Chains A and B, each alone.
Chain A
Amino acid sequence: MASGGSGWRTLPPGGIIVEPGSSLRYKTGTWRVMRPIINQDKCVRCRMCWVYCPDAAIIETDEEYVDSKGRRWNRTYKVNYDYCKGCGICAEECPVNAIEMVPEVK
């Protein structure tokens, strides 16, 4: 959150953050209890998960993928688990049920 230690003597007062962009170090994915797993073989690259994700935690990459039927895709969707909260909206919206929500703790 802030530089200079975590005790009251060294934190800047008032919760003021004096180092711009320090939020990049704050990984909110630890809030998650259910983890979305994308089945690349079922995925039809429609981009709906990317559109619906409220936290921009679906990443669209241009990695190639060849599925079991031999189809070649030039898009691959991945989950940024540093920020995904596990809300499950992507799994709910996926038209081909290619996203499965799996418990983080078995």
Chain B
Amino acid sequence: MAARGEVRARPKPMSTNSAVAAAVKDLDVDVVSAYPITPQTTVVEKIAEYIANGELEAEMIHVESEHSALSAALAAAATGARAFTATASQGLALMHEILHIVSGLRVPLVMSIAMRALSAPISIWNDHSDLMNARDSGWVIYFVHTAQEAYDTILQAYRVAEDPEVLLPVMVAYDGFVMSHTVEPVVTVGRENALSYAPKRPFPYKLDPDNPVTMGTLAGPEWYYEFKYQQVQAMAKALEKAREADREFERRFGRGYGVMECFMCEGAEALVMATSSYATTLKAILPEMWRQGFKVGLLRLRLYRPFPIREFTEYTSNASSLVVVDRSISFGAPYQGPLASEVASVKVKEGLDFNLVSVVAGIGQRKMEEEDFKALVRLAWEARSRKYPETIFYGVRE
């Protein structure tokens, strides 16, 4: 245990899954419900190890399905405990009913998602189909792009979720395998610092025999609408609180991300919008592309729900084109990339006039190498003076 005020500066090698588990340990989470699913499993395995070693005093509930995993975490959080669970793919799909119940009951908890494709056909590999299915479930959603950011964001997530003005559950999502199983250097802050930054603020309407409340009520047509509108307001509040949580995190620990990041945007004429590990790869190749004359910046979507419109509008104001890279397919939609559809709506809403290009890539973890990302950068450059009205399915075989 670190001494009070001490920030552990020495990085340790951790996969993103391990970094998430380390954050759960440092946040002194009280209840963890666990059901294994690739590529999430090592998160809860690592937490089980912490509990067995006495490094974390928490209740671990072994459940029979993901539907139960989220139900158990919800119930624990409803009693005022700090609760956590993790899942991916079919597991997140099986949780779907409970996703809406957690956000509808306004019970704060945090769940990590090692994003993975959905069956059929069965794929254990990465894409964002699982997360995109859950985007309208009323959860706050972060995409993270390094193991370090995963650790840091779990801390931010609890601070936002348990804020009495927010009271919403939070998902922290990252690329399965590409990040979940890749080892990177991670600096942890220790329990004292983590709890000082994100002190436990139990659910204010918690289940308590001395102060009984009724949860899970029936709301007829004359009541239901107001509760849903409260969620609309809570999301707006979550955006302010997420910005504040990140600023405070940077002040204390020296690492800040913003709710949206613009990398090499100064003087950029075109942008590529990407999430999670794709943003990491783009950061690696952009300096070389600039040397070749492609003045293209990276717009990294970090906070996805609520969508940071103000930052988006600011960062895209000087761009002539924007390539939006999606890793899931919205079948039959006007743009089949779901993020591109949202960007199109922001473009109309805010009166922005860049050329939008919708690109779908990496479905089922179809390999994207350096050359492929360079092709996307060149596409963004081309799109400054050329329209691409249809979604481009990058890399699909004829």
B294-319 interface code vs A (CB 8 A; 1 in, 0 out): 00000000000000000000000000
Q: Which of B110-118, B211-219, B324-332 contacts A (4 or more CB under 8 A)?
A: B211-219
Q: B230 near A11 (CB under 8 angstroms)?
A: yes
Chain A residue nearest in CB terms to B211: A18
A70 within 8 A of B: no
B200-233 interface code vs A (CB 8 A; 1 in, 0 out): 0000010000001111110100011011011001
Q: Which of A1, A8, A14, A20 contacts B104 (CB 8 A)?
A: A14
B167 within 8 A of A: yes
Interface size class of B (residues with CB under 8 A): 20 to 34
Contacts of A15 in B (CB 8 A): 104-105, 216-217, 219, 223-224, 227
Chain A residue nearest in CB terms to B218: A15
Chain A at the B interface: SS class = loop
Q: A16 near B226 (CB under 8 angstroms)?
A: no
* Min C-beta distance of A85 to chain B, whole Å: 14
Chain A residue nearest in CB terms to B226: A8
Which of B105, B167, B214 has the largest count of A CB atoms less than 10 A from its CB? Answer: B214
B159 within 8 A of A: no
Please measure, in the bound complex, the distance between the C-alpha atom of A16 and the C-alpha atom of B223, giving whole angstroms: 12
Chain B residue nearest in CB terms to A17: B214
Contacts of A17 in B (CB 8 A): 213-214, 217
* CB interface residues, B 77-111, toward A, < 8 Å: 104-107
Q: B227 near A11 (CB under 8 angstroms)?
A: yes
* CB interface residues, A 1-19, toward B, < 8 Å: 1, 6-8, 11-18
* Min C-beta distance of B356 to chain A, whole Å: 35
Please measure, in the bound complex, the distance between the C-alpha atom of A26 and the C-alpha atom of B167, giving whole angstroms: 28
Contacts of A16 in B (CB 8 A): 105-106, 205, 213-215, 217
Q: B229 near A8 (CB under 8 angstroms)?
A: yes
Please measure, in the bound complex, the distance between the C-alpha atom of A1 and the C-alpha atom of B105, giving whole angstroms: 16
Q: Which of A1, A6, A13 contacts B205 (CB 8 A)?
A: A13
Please measure, in the bound complex, the distance between the C-alpha atom of A25 and the C-alpha atom of B215, giving whole angstroms: 18
Chain B residue nearest in CB terms to A18: B213
Instruction: Give A residues with C-beta under 8 Å from B.
Output: 1, 6-8, 11-18, 20
Contact sample, A vs B, 13 pairs, CB 8 Å cutoff? A6-B226, A8-B227, A8-B233, A11-B226, A13-B106, A13-B167, A13-B234, A14-B205, A14-B230, A15-B105, A15-B217, A15-B223, A15-B227
